[in-house]
């Protein structure tokens, strides 16, 4: 299976084509949406996109890890991570099933 990565430019091109916007406006629109999502997550708030999924910010505590090469124990600092949980609709769509089945 070969995979292609969809870039910001690809998203903007799809929006421009679907909505009929000039490409530069579609690029600005896509950037604004992604910036808003990033800013919301940075503030520690979750993002829920109905029918698509949820982005959740989680706090991870300090723990001890291990360097796989040397076996040396290394402290891992506390940090925040973002997790994504797809909606049932997205799961169905990816698996080629009609929505709501």
pLDDT 10s digits, 73-84: 999 999 999 999
Domain ranges, residue 37: 1-43
Do the domain assignments include residue 69? no
Work out how many domains the chain is built from and give that number: 1
User: What would the two tokens of residue 34 be?
Assistant: 């992604």
Do the domain assignments include residue 61? no
Q: Find the helix packing angle between 8-19 and 23-42, rounded to 10°.
A: 120
Span 1-26, pLDDT tens digits: 567 899 988 999 999 999 999 999 99
Report d(CA 23, CA 27) in Å as an integer: 6
Report d(CA 48, CA 1) in Å as an integer: 30
Q: pTM, whole model, 2 decimals? A: 0.78
Averaged pLDDT, 32-43? 96
């Amino acid at each position: 299976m070969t995979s292609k990565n969809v870039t910001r430019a690809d998203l903007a091109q799809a929006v421009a084509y679907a909505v009929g916007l000039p490409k530069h406006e579609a690029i600005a629109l896509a950037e604004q949406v992604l910036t808003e999502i990033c800013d919301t997550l940075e503030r520690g708030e979750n993002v829920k996109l109905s029918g698509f999924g949820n982005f959740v910010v989680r706090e991870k505590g300090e723990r001890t890890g291990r360097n796989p090469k040397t076996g040396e124990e290394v402290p891992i600092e506390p940090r925040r991570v973002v997790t994504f949980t797809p909606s049932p609709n997205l799961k169905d769509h990816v698996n080629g099933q009609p929505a709501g089945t």
